[in-house]
Amino acid sequence: MHMSNQTKHPSVLITGASTGLGAACALEMDRLGWRVYAGVRTQEAGKQLADSARAIGNESRIVPIIIDVTNKESIAAAANTIEQTVGPDGLDALVNNAGIAVSGPLEIVAIERIRHQLEVNLIGQVAVTQAMLPMLRVARGRIVNMGSVSGLVASPFLGPYCMSKFALEAFSDSLRVELAHWGISVSLVEPVSIKSDIWEKAQEDIERLKAEATPEGRELYSDVIEKMSQVISESERTALPVEKVTRAVRHALTARRAKTRYLVSLPLGKLLFPLFRVMPDRMRDWILRRIIK
């Protein structure tokens, strides 16, 4: 990574930094002395993040950047702001973290919700990357995409989210080879369930599903929807601390040689998830059916 005049303060844009994992990554890189362009949706969210940095004793260099990854004008404005401040040194890193999780049986999830899922978790990541690449190329920078184990194993009733994360795997693999010529590394972080506000949002999504489903849909999937709520509660209870992911992101941004993939899981998961990918389909399906019963 080139840091000619930024040895002390390399720069990174982290999208989805208002709360949860994105905020944690922003605070961690700020702690390490990076200039963090924190992609947030509102001025208030940016202020709260900067206040959090100061509260834990960081000599904060967080710069809140208003960005909606589904809006090309918003992305262009953010890129322009960053370009004006990084100047000829370019941007050292991009962490594509913005994301949402849409769940439910694929038969009854509204198409608009599925389209929004892909717009945020995939198209938005591509759009932000395209906008930042000229600056990343100057700095021979790094890109970190926030994937998920849901991009390795597709779970029933989490189809929209899994679809977006499987696609992000393909995006990362293609991009990594395409950008190698310019010395730009591309890493993919693949966490299991992590403690964050995503679980509260997931429960809200279940309530939305109940409200939007037709009477026929509710009758067909009422037991499943109730089970989904229970699974979310259990996932929240057993989720790993967010520090497991921030550690992976930190390594991807600062190590002499970043890994292409970071599977963030308990040791058993690091064995099982790759195994899921190579076992016969019907065996995997049988296991997944038993898990959700």
So which residues are the catalytic ones? 161
HSE-CB at 34 with a 13 A cutoff on CA atoms is 23
Three-state SS at 242: coil
Cβ pair 277, 153 in contact under 8 A: yes
DSSP single-letter state for residue 101: -
Q: Which helix (H) or strand (E) holds 25?
A: helix 20-31
SS percent in the chain: helix, strand, coil, step 5? 60, 15, 30
Crossing angle for the helix pair 124-139 and 159-179, to the nearest 10 degrees:
20
